[in-house]
Structure 1
Amino acid sequence: MRTLSAFNKFTNTLKEQDLIMPVLFIGHGSPMNGIEDNEFSQRWTKMAKEMPVPAAVLVISAHWFTKGTLITAMEFPQTIHDFGGFPKALYDVKYPAPGNPALAKETAALIHTAHVIPDHDWGLDHGTWTVVRHMYPDANIPVLQLSIDYTKPPQHHFNLAKELYSLRKKGVLIIGSGNMIHNLGMVAWDKINGPAYGYDWTLQLNEKFKQLILSSDYNQLINYDRLGKEGKLAIPTPEHYLPLLYTLGLKGSSDNPGIFNDKAVAGSLTMTSVKLCPA
């Protein structure tokens, strides 16, 4: 049973510190990654061990796509099973991490490009818990979600992320969770459980995305609608892609970009992920 003691020490305003937390974009892929011990989940576990323990985690998930910008502000967010057709074991998972209403309020106050609405109905969707439960299995670190406003253009999301930078100085790990290339309509289902496989356009665009990220050349990534036919195939809808822009918008002048879980899956999906951390 969850109690307030799990997060009482985080309820006061977080203080700035010398340490700047990394920021991540994680390709979360199938919900089954939430319970499977595979190369992706193993890397998430290892990633957490390579970083300082955060005071809290804030996730921008592809699966909370809203009109307006919302932030989870409840004490105990529910575990949301927002998918269908999977084994019962996946639906049985509960990730009982606490929330942090004080941090939600503080985060909302940092954002001036949007009016942020406190939310008490959502919780942690699978874009969040399938990843974070591997990173912090004890569920003793507060976890919040910030929604993605579907009425706003890509540049808005990139700019909004910049306003969150000070949270990195307060021990908050910020994660964008989606997939850079995500076209479920073209998935090669016969190869879903096989070795790495990507269509030619998937592999070509994945390489281009990595090149632009590693060189901190974000203009083409923000204006992804200008990437031609390959871009339309890779990003038929924006919800899985936009979390990447939040991660990139949080880049500081001393951050070095790194790539991990760089793999194409089932033709039209990539798990390619990004870590930004000070040199």
Structure 2
Amino acid sequence: MIAPALFVGHGSPRDALRETSASKRWAAIAAAIDRPRAVLCISAHWESKGVLVTRGERPRTIHDFYRFPEEFYAIDYPAPGDPALALKIETRLQAFNARADLDSWGLDHGSWTVLRWMYPAADVPVLQLSLDVRRTAGGHYAIGQAIAGLREEGVMILGSGNIVHNLRVPRPRGDEVFLWAGRFDARIGALIEAGDHAALIDYQTLPDAADAVPESEHFLPLLYVLGAARPGERPMLFNRQVLASVSMTGVGFGIPDSAG
């Protein structure tokens, strides 16, 4: 079994309690693929100095947001961890000096807001891999290449972020989409379909990048998924929607056409 590599635009934590067109597609993808042995999530919301892998047996649910209604802080996603798999991942990433995070982290909202729609029973083990802030975009892509072999062991690679993510600009009224946001999302989608990973790694030089990606952490998980793609594997783009200045676009490798 070859597990998929999947990048999702995770959107707002508020979507954890309401069904959306995006969450319905996440659930449809989970229903269309074989159940993975585990999920390794690279979330925009875990940055660190160094490469860290969660090794806890019961990762805690992290509510890493502020001023939300109480019901959001009551959400628990009690998926198990997999310490043995974590150790294998650390070994696989020895060249990147990966090490274990035993209990300081858990599952942040970049992972559980998506996974509670994909696997609502929380019965698939979940691990997280941190974003090392000291690495270049090419370095993040290289880590994606290094973990690609996990897919052959039934481990889903899940990148969670947003291709366009700029919360610094004032939100417009209604359904207006910033022109630069739509252009950048469309450009990235075209480069993904063309298989131009070099241009995607060098995303900061693309037109509109300064507005669309003012900070890198929401874009970088995409590079892990691109790095984990198999040669010649066709990408499937889904949830192609931009909400003002945030893109929900996702891409999957190893996803059957029935999930589209």
Q: Which runs of 5+ in 2 are unaligned?
A: none
Q: Do structure 1's residue 182 and structure 2's residue 146 form an aligned pair? A: no
Report if aligned partners of 1:256, 1:278 keep a CA contact under 8 Å in 2: no
Q: Which letter does structure 2 place at the counterpart of 1:262?
A: R
Q: How many residues align?
A: 255
Q: 2:15 aligns with which of 9, 23, 33?
A: 33
Q: 1:257 aligns with which of 207, 227, 235?
A: 235
TM-score, normalized by length of structure 1? 0.89
4+ residue segments displaced more than 2 Å = none
Q: Do structure 1's residue 51 and structure 2's residue 51 form an aligned pair? A: no
Q: 2:187 aligns with which of 180, 191, 208?
A: 208
Q: CA 1:106–1:200 in 2, change beyond 3 Å: closer, same or farther?
A: same
Write out per-residue CA displacement over residues 25-50 of structure 1, whole angstroms, 9 at most, x where no aligned residue: 00001011112111111111111001
Write out per-residue CA displacement over residues 32-83 of structure 1, whole angstroms, 9 at most, x where no aligned residue: 1112111111111111001110010000000001111101000000000000
1:73 aligned residue: 55
User: Secondary structure at 2:254's aligned position in 1?
Assistant: strand
1:269 aligned residue: 246
The CA distance in 2 between the partners of 1:117 and 1:187, in whole Å, is: 40
RMSD: 1.3
1:113 CA displacement: 3.4
Report if aligned partners of 1:254, 1:278 keep a CA contact under 8 Å in 2: no
Identity across matched positions, percent: 42
Report if aligned partners of 2:236, 2:255 keep a CA contact under 8 Å in 1: no
1:133 CA displacement: 0.8
The CA distance in 2 between the partners of 1:187 and 1:272, in whole Å, is: 21
1:83 aligned residue: 65
User: Secondary structure at 2:106's aligned position in 1?
Assistant: coil
1:168 aligned residue: 151
Write out per-residue CA displacement over residues 110-146 of structure 1, whole angstroms, 9 at most, x where no aligned residue: 1143111101210000000000011001111100000
1:278 CA displacement: 7.1
User: Secondary structure at 2:168's aligned position in 1?
Assistant: helix
User: Secondary structure at 2:99's aligned position in 1?
Assistant: strand
Q: Do structure 1's residue 129 and structure 2's residue 118 form an aligned pair? A: no
TM-score, normalized by length of structure 2? 0.95
1:105 aligned residue: 87
1:64 aligned residue: 46
Q: 2:76 aligns with which of 64, 71, 94?
A: 94
The CA distance in 2 between the partners of 1:134 and 1:44, in whole Å, is: 7
The CA distance in 1 between the partners of 2:97 and 2:227, in whole Å, is: 19
Q: Do structure 1's residue 143 and structure 2's residue 120 form an aligned pair? A: no
